Amino acid sequence: MNLFDKGYISSIGTTGFENSDPSGTYQTLQTGAPRQVNWLKSYLQTVPAGAPIIISTHIPMVTAFYTYADESPSLFKHQALSTVNTREILALLTGHNVIAVFQGHTHVLEQVEHNGIQFITGGAVSGNWWHGLHLGTPEGYMIVHVENNTVRTEYKTYGFHTVSPENTY
């Protein structure tokens, strides 16, 4: 574990999991975090060819959120709803067996595939911040199955009922 740069690596079986959030805020893989990018680059050089990799990041790298959210993309572009250096990170991942990128922050359930990588945003246990559905996603959690270089997910709700519904679709 590399606490200095707040990057975390763990292995389960033969799958490597990498988590990145340099400051614990909205700076995940931001331009202002070159040490984090260098750390990821160094880590990827140690991964055996073909080894499956799963990356987890709080701020989405690849998302369709701007196409269905009410907020104008110009208000948020590269501030808090997507990483500022996605292209740089994607270039680093080229040639590696990245089977999934798990991401959060937007509280929606979505899956986008780009260049053979699944970018999976996993909803939120609080849904619309404890007020019902957020853009159609209920309060819930994701179960992840990893088998034979394949990732499959299930989203489970748990019966939460808000006393002050403010559902958004």
What does the alpha-carbon distance between residue 33 and residue 168 come to, in Å, rounded to a whole number? 34
Percent above pLDDT 90 for the chain: 48
Q: How much is the pLDDT for 7?
A: 53
Q: Is the pLDDT of residue 40 over 70?
A: yes
Q: How much is the pLDDT for 10?
A: 57
pLDDT per residue over 52-72, tens digit each? 999 888 888 899 988 888 765
Q: Which of 24, 47, 20 lies closest to 36 in space, CA to CA?
A: 20
pLDDT per residue over 67-96, tens digit each? 888 765 555 544 567 777 888 889 999 999
Q: What does residue 2 show for φ and ψ, rounded to 5 degrees? A: -110, 85
Q: Which of 153, 132, 157, 129 lies closest to 143 in space, CA to CA?
A: 153
In the chain, domain spans: 7-156
Average pLDDT over residues 37-53: 88
Q: Residues 7-156: name the CATH superfamily.
A: Metallo-dependent phosphatases (3.60.21.10)
Q: How much is the pLDDT for 137?
A: 95
Q: What does residue 103 show for φ and ψ, rounded to 5 degrees? A: -145, 165
| CB of 28 closer than 8 Å to CB of 5 | no
Tokens at 45, concatenated: 């050089």
Confidence (pTM): 0.81
